[in-house]
Chain A
Amino acid sequence: MQKLWSILFLGLLVFGVWFFYYGMTTPGMWLPDQASTYAHDVDYLFNVILWITGIAFVLTEGALVWFLFRYHAAEGRKATYIHHHTKAEVIWTVVPAVILAYIAYAQYDTWNNIKRNPMLTGPEQKQAMAQIVARQFEWRFRYAGLDGQPGVAGVDDDNNGTADDWDEWGYPGSDDVESVNELHVPVGEKMVFHLRSFDVLHSFFVPDFRVKQDAVPGLVIPLWFQVLENQLESGQAYKDYDLLCAELCGWGHFKMQGKVRVHTADGFREWLRETEQKYRDPG
């Protein structure tokens, strides 16, 4: 009976390690495909952190089990009270500090590439392919259309010298197209999207692309990704991926799903043309 707690915690240690081992070695249980250019970098960081926390878990759990086993309550034994131990304090401060500094250093390039890419903001920014509007409980996408310009190319009605004002999205007479819950993209192209929210916090999450970005009401947040060319086998017209909302946004959060359809470059233009045609079609 005295050993109960040490056995219980040993069980937790064994179960925790086995559970991760089982997940990692069983097909379909671990991470989804690495379908975007930066998916590999994100997974690398994920694995680094998993190993660090995994080792820390095994060491601390092992120590816990050992102490529970070795020093459990016994007749006539008195607990000792240790007050101050400089060496121990230095170790448990410096070691985590070094680990955290390493993580901060290791993630820097990846973070910069994904979140602070010159494509997103500043003078070199790339024209957004589409605007993504999250709404309880659906995704709406508005594309700049075949001319690659939102609204009517060259329209500048606030005379600030730029023709890419957000107000011109969907300007009547333009070839902008809209789609609900289906994001269509071409394979192999670097694409920028502008993410907005209609009502509350949402999060745009495509697990296979390792894209996750909160949508915040009142903000236009740019994001980018590039789907790897090898995702489409030769002759394959398109492939679908899951799109999810990763921020609890209300009672219907569970059904705020969509799909991302990756086309060949030609297939994507064909889809734009067809959707534009449907918009004009009286019927």
Chain B
Amino acid sequence: MTTVEEIVKGILSGDSRSIARAITIIENNMPEAKKIIASIYPYTGKAHIIGLTGPGGSGKSTLIEKMVREYRQKNKTVGVVAVDPTSPFTGGAFLGDRIRMQELSTDGGVFIRSMATRNYPGAIAKTTKDVVKILDAAGKDIILVETVGAGQSEVEIIKVAQTIVVIHAPGLGDEIQAIKAGLMEIADIFVVNKADKENADKAVMDIQAMLQLDNKAHAWKLPIIKTSALTGEGVSQFIEKIEEHKHFLEVEKESKRSLTRAEAELEEEIKEIVSNSIIEELKSEGKFEEILQKIMKREIDPASAAEKLVREKFKKAK
């Protein structure tokens, strides 16, 4: 039986098996998860975490493969987390992002993990943040988090990544206009992939037009980069822009952004602990069931019931 200490030691020395085992423990919310995160947290904060999102069919995985190769040429180690949706009906998931990256599997400087959202909203998994921490503590210089997003709700990636890249491709059927407000607001870099296709320039112009509608002055000038994962065109430029953004973050807003991320994470953790323990207590005291019956009989509405229960609980505590 591998102990938490052994796993943590393995993570810090970059051992793939320990990393993989730790990720499973975190994904499944096993009791050792908290101890592992607590132990490795002091060693995080070194990696550059890049979120890549965009509609399906934009060629994200193929582009990521090219990116990783380029990073490896610069002797950087890379972690890739590829997130795909869990079926809300069956609870299962088909995780196929590795297909495009499989040649990288045997490169010791690359660690790839496929994750299913397990029905957490926002196109990432609840535990993606912690998985990234593990890869960070394991010494990966670059961590790429890939998710499928095209709308307003797939913006949870900002809680996980420092540089957000939105990838689109011409001719996906729903036009650039379909990139909803949410994604537009969180993007640090726009990529139009499949630049070898003929309407690529139009796609770039469409994005430029949408960006011009935004009147606020920004310290970071949002670049739109054309890439072709097929030919490799634009990939070096893209990596350079990512590096530029990293420096921008270091100099300018990053402390504010990472403060916001840490705040959101702390609040989420507190909410979970508090709500779980209150609900558990109410259930064991029978109060939960009691008021549930009243709700069913239409004697009280759920919101008022909740307020009543919580007010009573805190009155007693005082």
| A, B in one complex | no
